[in-house]
Amino acid sequence: MFGGKMKAITFSYDDGVTQDKRFIEILNRYGLKCTFNLNSGLLGTANSLCIDGITVAHCKPRPEEVRAIYEGHEIAGHTLTHPMLPALDEKEIIRQVEQDRLCLSELAGYEVVGFAYPCGGTNYDSRVSEIIRNNTGVKYCRTIVSNGSFDPQDNLYEFKPTVYHHEFDKMIETGRKFLELEADTPKLLYIWGHSYEFDIYNRWAEFEEFCKLISGRSDIFYGTNKEVLLG
């Protein structure tokens, strides 16, 4: 159960970008919680991405801003510099994950225990997840393999989210299905993405409507990844 409730909703957003500030303002208005996965080695850098022919900012907050920006939510790891972990040897995987975790723990003011695998495609495998499990302080790892399920998962080091927010219509459909669900066993709606993606098609207002839709339900616990996965 989640805080005495059978249903829970959580968000997980990657890269630690300046659009997170606007995203957090929306979440806070509706009492929603998110875990933000940051690359501590890239903090303070400014770049842009071209997605579907549209250029969007991909700028990172400065280290000294991190604690204030993410207050009330959870900070988690995403490696130091966002490499494709399966391509690395064991020593470098440990360094990328554990040094990031330790740096973020210092910035956050509490022990960081969460992690999201960086990059697209096949960005993890059993070798990588076992290295992280056995050699770091990470307690859970989120993949990018959305499974459409609300059911609990045994392997928290290869955790699969429910739905990717960039598949916007699917997210709304899945959210409505979750709201209508009458649960007699624990069920979790886990949404992941990147806040800069809202800039691509200017879907901020639509996303806020979605947040309004799923918020304020007495039968749902709204928590961070740590709260819903680790209790």
Query: Residue 17 in contact with residue 58, Cβ under 8 Å?
Result: yes
d(CA 127, CA 81): 20
pLDDT tens-digit readout, 71-120: 999 999 999 999 999 999 999 999 999 999 999 999 999 999 999 999 99
Beta carbons within 10 angstroms of residue 212's beta carbon: 13
pLDDT tens-digit readout, 133-192: 999 999 999 999 999 999 999 999 999 999 999 999 999 999 999 999 999 999 999 999
pLDDT tens-digit readout, 54-70: 999 999 999 999 999 99
Average pLDDT, the chain: 97
pLDDT at 216 > cutoff 90: yes
pLDDT tens-digit readout, 152-163: 999 999 999 999
Give the pLDDT confidence score for residue 1 in this predicted structure.
Answer: 85
> Domains in the chain, please, with CATH?
7-230 (3.20.20.370)
